Structure 1
Amino acid sequence: MDSHYIDEVLKGNSNAFSYFIKTYQNKAFGVAVSIVKSEDDAKDVVQDSFVAAYSSLHKFRVESKFSTWFYRIVVNKALQFIKQEKRKHEVVGEYSISDGERTALNDAIGQLEKQELKKLIKAVFEKIPAKEALVLQLFYIDEQNMVEIEAITMFTKSNVKVLLHRGRTSFYKVLKEQNLNEYKYYE
């Protein structure tokens, strides 16, 4: 389906590009906000990414997936934004939790309303390092596989695995610090 719209845009039908905006804007926003940590900044990053994709569409290799190519643009634009703003990200050290704590957290999360869960995930992503939030976003929320994450981020497979591990650990640490007892229901 993407290839049809790519052909249309390349033939001069700029209106056909709206398909890509409608199809990819929400996931692109999720990727961007996981890196830049601000919804307003993420909107700017996504807009810049669509402009870059439109301008570079003639360079797109048809044998690749458009989504992977486009998300790579989003990641690059977000990382460029961070460099420009000279933001500093806190490095979260190794933190271990017991199986019992992990089970309790998983149970509490399972009982959250969907909207509460979205707010909680967004709040947690704002507090963990950008690369970890990005990999968690791509893997769990956008359901990208390891190969796609490697292509989008340009990280090595081992780096993606390390970031997933650290991201999970950071995620649990932040959840624990936010005291999930308020969300826990007792039977």
Structure 2
Amino acid sequence: MDTHYINEVLKGNTHAFGYLIRTYQNKTFGIAISIVKNDEDAKDVVQESFITAYASLSSFRNDAKFSTWLYRIVVNKALQFLKRQKRKEEVSQEIAITENDKTAYNSALEQLNHQDLKLLVKKVLSEIPPREALILQLFYLENQQISEIQTITDFTKANIKVLLHRGRKSFYKKLKKDNITKPY
């Protein structure tokens, strides 16, 4: 479906790009907010990303999904924003994801009802480091596979696993700190 609208835009039908914006605006905003942590900044990142995507649409190759290509632009724009804000990013080391981390994370989430979960996830993601929040957002909320995340972020597979591990830990610690989960 995206291919049809992309071809229409390339033929000069600028209104066809509206479909792509409507289709991906919420997901791109979710990715941007997970990195920049501020609604207004995330809106700016998304807007810049769509402008870049529109201007670069002719360079889009159909060897990847449009969403992957667009998410990559959003991630790059968000990271550029962070650099402009002179935030320092954490250096990753390779750590294995243990089964206990997955169990603790999943157990904590299962204790919350769905509506509270949405609000809580948004709050916690805004309070953990940007890279960790981005990876959790892509992996759990956007259901992206590690290979897709690798394409979107340009992080190594090992780095993504490290960030997933750290993100889960940060997420769980934040939940536990706020007394949202039962003590084990």
Q: TM class by shorter-chain length?
A: 0.7 to 0.9
TM-score scaled by length of structure 2: 0.87
Matched, 1:149 2:145: no
Query: CA–CA distance in 2 between the matches of 1:107 and 1:64?
Result: 35
Give 1:11 shift: 0.3
Gap change, CA 1:129 and 1:58, over 3 Å in 2: same
Gap change, CA 1:110 and 1:5, over 3 Å in 2: same
Q: Which runs of 5+ in 2 are unaligned?
A: none
RMSD of the TM alignment (CA)?
2.5
TM-score scaled by length of structure 1: 0.86
Query: CA–CA distance in 1 between the matches of 2:37 and 2:89?
Result: 10
Which residue of structure 2 lines up, in the alignment, with residue 123 of structure 1?
Answer: 123
Which residue of structure 2 lines up, in the alignment, with residue 42 of structure 1?
Answer: 42
Give 1:54 shift: 0.2
Gap change, CA 1:149 and 1:108, over 3 Å in 2: closer
- The number of residues matched between the two structures is 178
Query: CA–CA distance in 2 between the matches of 1:89 and 1:156?
Result: 16
In the alignment, is the contact (CA less than 8 A) between 1:75 and 1:153 conserved in 2? yes
1:172 is paired with a residue of what secondary structure?
helix
Query: CA–CA distance in 1 between the matches of 2:88 and 2:2?
Result: 37
Q: Which protein is bigger by CA-based radius of gyration?
A: 1
Partner amino acid, structure 2, of 1:39: D
Gap change, CA 1:88 and 1:178, over 3 Å in 2: farther
Which residue of structure 2 lines up, in the alignment, with residue 32 of structure 1?
Answer: 32
Matched, 1:69 2:72: no
1:35-184 alignment runs, 5 A limit: 35-88=35-88, 106-107=106-107, 109-180=109-180
